[in-house]
């Protein structure tokens, strides 16, 4: 049941709202209050009215959350729309994008305008306002490579902020919004600087191979379509199977730890991750622990990509939670490595 208790032109407030349609795991959970904001102009008043004063969660596309139980507090979703060109010359374009724009629509817009930089990030679910939070990344690109500014409000102080790329302190699946400022920001806009000159990131071997095999010249449309095809083969279609993309982060370990594991797993996959550190592939570790395709009731490890945990239909949040801990425990017992969720658990 949901009751609409207020409906102004640009802000909708519901009580006892069902969250199943708002989380890609498709888990049933109810929140006390659900707020949709359709105009940035409403934000200062909402802050002044104390909308964010209690327990709250800013929800993007719901593709990175696991609701283990009902949410006692207010869930806020930014539904603002608009992509504005702030400036451009022959080389670059600077865009300001509203937080509620879907990431998929933004990538489509950039590909069709031949603005280079986000084509490798095609197919990632969610909204533009969420992309800086965990610095989304795929196929050799991270969104930090193209973000110039993040704009929004601090919730405790109710003050507006504008952060430069450097001030966002981006790292692997991390930023200031996930660390020091966690749960204390409402992002309203993200600014991007994209190249208007042909410029590709083709470090991911599988994508290059597929372009060659299909005799496709390297163009922004072909690269985007190829990344999408590679991605679709490995990851579930979130409109059909409940999941949240990669459930775990790839663990970053000391090179000494990597060398120890190399004795155990000679074909260990790893990437450089800064001075003396290496990033391992959690999917490979889960796979080698024999868990790919393993299922407990309706919770399971996706058979085509072990990094993904899926809800085959009627798993509860608690069942998904128990299952991810089972995966974590098995990987630790086999390899002595702790894999941490990328997904936020509530």
Catalytic residues: 173, 246, 342
**Total residues contacting ligand EPU (rule CB under 6 A)?**
18
CB 39 to ligand EPU: min, Å: 30
Query: Collapsing DSSP states into helix, strand and coil, what is residue 287?
Result: helix
C-beta of 93 vs 131, nearer to ligand EPU: 131
Instruction: Work out which of 284, 311, 316, 328 binds ligand EPU, going by CB under 6 A.
Output: 284
Residue-wise over 301-332: b if at least 16 C-beta within 10 A, else e?
Answer: bbeebbbbbbbeeebbbebbbebbeebbebbe
- Which residue lies nearer to ligand EPU by CB, 250 or 311? 250
Among positions 249, 253, 268, 335, the unique one binding ligand EPU when judged by CB under 6 A: 249
Judged by CB, which is closer to ligand EPU: 27, or 138? 138
The b/e string for 139-162 (b: 16+ C-beta within 10 A; e otherwise) is: bebbbbbbbbbbbbbebeeeeebe
Q: Which of 165, 107, 129 is nearest to 43 (CA)?
A: 129
Supply the minimum distance, in Å, between the C-beta of residue 35 and ligand EPU. 26
Evaluate the CA torsion angle 313, 178, 326, 259 in order and state its sign. positive
For residue 328, state whether it binds ligand EPU (rule: CB under 6 A). Answer: no
Tokens coding 59: 């929800």
Binding mask 139-178 for ligand EPU (x = CB under 6 A): x---------------------------------------
Q: What share of residues in the chain are helix, strand, coil (percent, to 5)?
A: 25, 30, 40
Burial class (CB in 10 A: 0-12, 13-18, 19+), 88: middle
We find the least distance from the C-beta atom of residue 74 to ligand EPU, in angstroms, to be 26
Residue 220's nearest CA partner among 247, 200, 196, 248 is 200
Residue 337 binds to ligand EPU (criterion: CB under 6 A): no
The interface with ligand EPU within residues 26-55 (CB under 6 A) comprises none
Q: Which is nearer to ligand EPU, 33 or 131 (CB)?
A: 131
245 belongs to the binding site for ligand EPU (CB under 6 A): yes
| Alpha-carbon span 144 to 69, nearest angstrom | 33
Choose between 118 and 138: whose C-beta lies nearer to ligand EPU: 138
Nearer to ligand EPU, 40 or 342 (CB): 342
Give min distance, CB of 10 to ligand EPU, in A: 31
252 binds ligand EPU (CB under 6 A): no
Q: Is 138 in the site for ligand EPU (CB under 6 A)?
A: yes
The Cα diameter of the chain in Å comes to 63
Q: 137: closest CA among 115, 152, 122?
A: 122
Q: List, as one string, the DSSP characters of 113-167.
A: TT-BSSGGGTT--SBGGGTTTTT-EETTEEGGGTEEEEEEEETTT--EEEEETGG
Of 30 and 307, which has the nearer Cβ to ligand EPU?
307
> DSSP 3-state assignment of 254?
strand
| Shortest Å distance, C-beta 195 to ligand EPU | 20
Selected from 287, 298, 319, 322, the binder of ligand EPU by CB under 6 A is: 287
Q: What is the x/- site pattern for ligand EPU, positions 288-327, by CB under 6 A?
A: ----x------------xxx--------------------
Q: Which residues in this chain contact ligand EPU in the complex, by CB under 6 A? A: 138-139, 234-235, 245-246, 249-250, 269, 281, 283-284, 287, 292, 305-307, 342
């Amino acid at each position: 049941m949901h009751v609409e208790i207020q409906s102004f032109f640009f802000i909708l407030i519901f009580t006892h709202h069902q969250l199943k349609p708002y989380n890609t795991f498709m888990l049933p959970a109810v929140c006390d209050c659900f707020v949709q904001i359709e105009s940035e102009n409403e934000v200062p008043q909402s802050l002044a009215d104390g909308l964010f004063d209690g327990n709250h969660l800013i929800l993007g596309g719901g593709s990175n959350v696991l609701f283990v139980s009902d949410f006692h507090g207010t869930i806020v979703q930014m539904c603002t729309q608009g992509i504005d060109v702030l400036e451009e010359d022959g080389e670059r374009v600077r865009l300001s994008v509203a937080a509620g724009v879907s990431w998929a629509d933004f990538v489509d817009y950039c590909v069709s305008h031949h603005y280079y930089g986000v084509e490798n990030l095609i197919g990632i679910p969610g909204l533009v306002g969420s992309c800086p939070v965990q610095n989304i990344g795929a196929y050799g690109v991270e969104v930090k490579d193209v973000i110039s500014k993040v704009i929004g409000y601090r919730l405790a102080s109710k003050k507006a902020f504008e952060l430069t790329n450097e001030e966002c302190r981006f790292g692997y699946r991390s930023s200031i919004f996930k660390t020091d400022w966690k749960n204390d920001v409402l992002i309203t806009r993200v600014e991007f600087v994209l190249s208007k000159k042909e410029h590709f990131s083709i470090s991911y071997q599988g994508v290059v191979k597929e372009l060659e095999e299909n005799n496709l010249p390297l163009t922004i449309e072909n690269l985007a379509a190829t990344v999408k095809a590679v991605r679709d083969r490995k990851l579930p279609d979130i409109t059909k199977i409940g999941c949240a993309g990669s459930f775990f982060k790839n663990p970053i370990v000391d090179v000494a730890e990597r060398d120890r594991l190399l004795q155990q797993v000679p074909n260990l996959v790893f990437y450089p991750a800064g001075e003396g550190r290496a990033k391992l592939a959690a999917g490979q570790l889960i796979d080698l622990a024999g868990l790919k395709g393993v299922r407990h009731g309706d919770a399971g490890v996706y058979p085509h990509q072990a990094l993904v945990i899926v809800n085959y239909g009627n798993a509860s949040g608690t069942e998904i939670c128990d299952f991810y801990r089972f995966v974590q425990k098995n990987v630790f017992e086999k390899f002595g490595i702790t894999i941490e969720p990328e997904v936020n658990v509530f």
